Chains A and B, each alone.
Chain A
Amino acid sequence: METPRPYSLLCELTYRCPLQCPYCSNPVDFARHTEELTTAEWERVLTEAAALGVVQAHFSGGEPLLRADLPQIVRRARDLGLYTNLSTGGTLFDETTGTQLRAAGLDSLQVSIQDAHAENSDRLAGGAPSFAKKIHAAQIAKQLGFSLTINVVLHRQNLDRIEAIISMAEELGAERLELANSQYNGWALKNRAALLPSRAQVEHAARVADATRQRLAGRMEILYVLPDYFEPFPKACLHGWGRVFMTVAADGAVLPCQTAREIRGLKFENVRDLSLEKIWFESETFCKFRGTDWLPEPCRSCPRKEIDFGGCRCQAFLLTGDATVTDPVCSLAPKHHLVVEALAGAETGANEKLIYRNAVESLRLGKEQANAGLPPEMEPGSAD
């Protein structure tokens, strides 16, 4: 089969961030990667990406607004004909920046909010109070005429306010609300005992999202992604490894997905050394899990193998220590008990203490991981 070309490029412009969300998708050891790409390097990355077949550029971080050259980078992407999305925490988004981004041709804007409850949102985001700034950012975005998406990561500590969260997005005039259940990789896995919801919470939220979707049809689109822990089969992570999506991290490392850096033993090429085209088509890491030839059993003989490609490689590695096995969230996976045990833990109450995503914790956890034979999550008892 001919190797497909990527449609979508995620540009993690920086790992720096004023927020400290305990489910951040940045790698746990992000603080080690400090050599950010320059403006000219990002422009080259975008040019190479467009030639490779990328039609969409998503700009995120960390907090992408910490890069003063963001409007210039967005403009470059637009000049290349790419559709441009920005994901921001909102605290640095003001009228000046918004106007610059609008002029640069930014197509779509996503503001993340942690909860509809101000104090809880501030507590979850960590650091300085951020909720009021986020609301203000969303309001400015609307005034400037942006197509606005509100993104709320859902978990044990905010799922019960699903109704209030939807009302908040409605009041802000969002065109789209992404209710994204936390994915338990990286930081969220470190905080799993505090974040993993009960089944009742997840199902209640799904019912509310469903009913609201009908009520708001034509006004606000609602995306509710069920957490894979509660599903019988894994997600088609990224629609398959190295198939439609690639990430360039802040330091130029090219990743099949933004969490892939958690998989130890994989080598990630850098845009400073090789072209995106060469990395996509030829690098060992991109070829390793592409397609279905590499699949282990029970995936290899499974009728769903072209649907989910064996699930998430990061999750397989983080839960079992081996990236080549079936994603343990699959009910057919040999290590599915790891997920069942975590879910049982979530039914009987949880440890509320959060590890915040900041440089101090990152360096500490990075060191811990480097010293350990296997990640601590391998022990089923870690769900408390």
Chain B
Amino acid sequence: MTYLPDTAKPRLAAKVRLKWDEVRQKPLLLFPEGVLVLNRTAHEVVALCDGQRTVAEIVKTLGEKFRSDTIDPDVKELLAKLVGKRFVTVAD
């Protein structure tokens, strides 16, 4: 797995959309021929992948939100997985 550097600015890949599913009351990632139901943490991370924020900023925002100092490795691992599946890419 490739971890993103703290300064990288992740964003959703062009083919991917984040959607709040009103019927199921769940967050979804939509992509060609597939759907991924996100858990709460994944939703929070994906929602911050806007190509503006850096990895460090995303970690900081979520750490504050969840009042946790130990969220760093979880967020970074999740981002690495999302990049591996090409749902998330790094803004130039």
The 8 Å CB contact of B15, one of A8, A53, A147, is A147
A142 to chain B, nearest CB (A): 12
A380 to B35, CA, bound (A): 39
Say yes or no: is A52 at the interface (Cβ < 8 Å to chain B).
Answer: yes
Contact between chains at A56 and B30 (CB < 8 Å): yes
A110 at the interface (CB under 8 A from B): yes
From A53, A56, A221, name the one whose CB has the most chain B CB atoms within 10 angstroms: A56
Q: Is the CB of B32 within 8 A of A176?
A: yes
Q: Assuming the A-B contacts A53-B24, A55-B28, are A81 and B35 also in contact, with contact meaning beta carbons closer than 8 angstroms in the complex?
A: no
Q: Determine whether B21 belongs to the interface, using a CB cutoff of 8 Å to chain A.
A: yes
Query: Once the chains bind, are A83 and B14 in contact (CB under 8 Å)?
Result: no
For residue A100, CB closer than 8 A to chain B, the reply is no
Interface size bracket, B side: 10 to 19
Among B19, B24, B32, point to the contact of A147 (Cβ < 8 A): B32
A-chain residues with CB within 8 Å of residue B30 when the two chains form the complex: 55-56, 83, 107
Expressed in whole angstroms, the minimum distance between the Cβ of A8 and any Cβ of chain B is 7
Chain A residue at minimum C-beta to C-beta distance from B30: A83
Check A55/B32 contact, CB under 8 A, given A5-B24, A147-B14. Answer: no
**Closest CB in chain B relative to A167 CB, distance in Å:** 21
- Known contacts A53-B21, A81-B19; A221 and B86 CB within 8 A of each other: yes
Among candidates B14, B15, B19, B33, residue contacting A55 with C-beta atoms closer than 8 Å: B19
Q: Report the separation of the CA atoms of residues A56 and B31 in the bound assembly, to the nearest whole angstrom.
A: 9
Is A51 at the interface (CB under 8 A from chain B)? yes
| Residue in contact with B35 in the complex, picked from A8, A108, A149, CB distance below 8 Å | A8
Known A-B contacts A85-B32, A149-B32; A52 and B23 likewise in contact (beta carbons under 8 Å)? yes
- Complex: A176 Cα to B15 Cα, angstroms: 11
- Alpha-carbon distance between A81 and B19 when the two chains are bound, in angstroms: 8
Nearest residue (CB) in A for B86 is A221
Counting chain A CB atoms within 10 Å of each CB, the highest count among B17, B31, B32 belongs to B32
Is A377 in contact with chain B by the CB < 8 A criterion?
Answer: no
The 0/1 profile, CB within 8 Å of B marked 1, for residues 198-216 of chain A is 0000000000000000000
CA of A108 to CA of B32, assembled, Å: 6
Is A7 part of the binding interface, using a Cβ–Cβ cutoff of 8 Å?
yes
Chain A, 23-66, contact with B by CB distance < 8 Å: what is the 0/1 string? 00000000000000000000000000001110110100000000
Q: How far is the CA of A30 from the CA of B32 in the complex (A)?
A: 27
Please, how many angstroms separate the alpha-carbon atoms of A108 and B33 in the complex? 9
Residues of chain B within 8 A of A56, CB atoms compared: 30, 33, 35
Does B23 lie within 8 Å of A107, measured CB to CB? no
Most buried by B among A81, A83, A145: A83
Q: Mark B10-37, 1 if CB is under 8 A from A, else 0.
A: 0000110101010110001011110100
Apart from A55-B30, A83-B30, A218-B86, what 9 extra A-B contacts exist at CB < 8 Å?
Answer: A8-B35, A53-B21, A58-B33, A83-B31, A85-B32, A85-B33, A147-B32, A149-B32, A175-B15
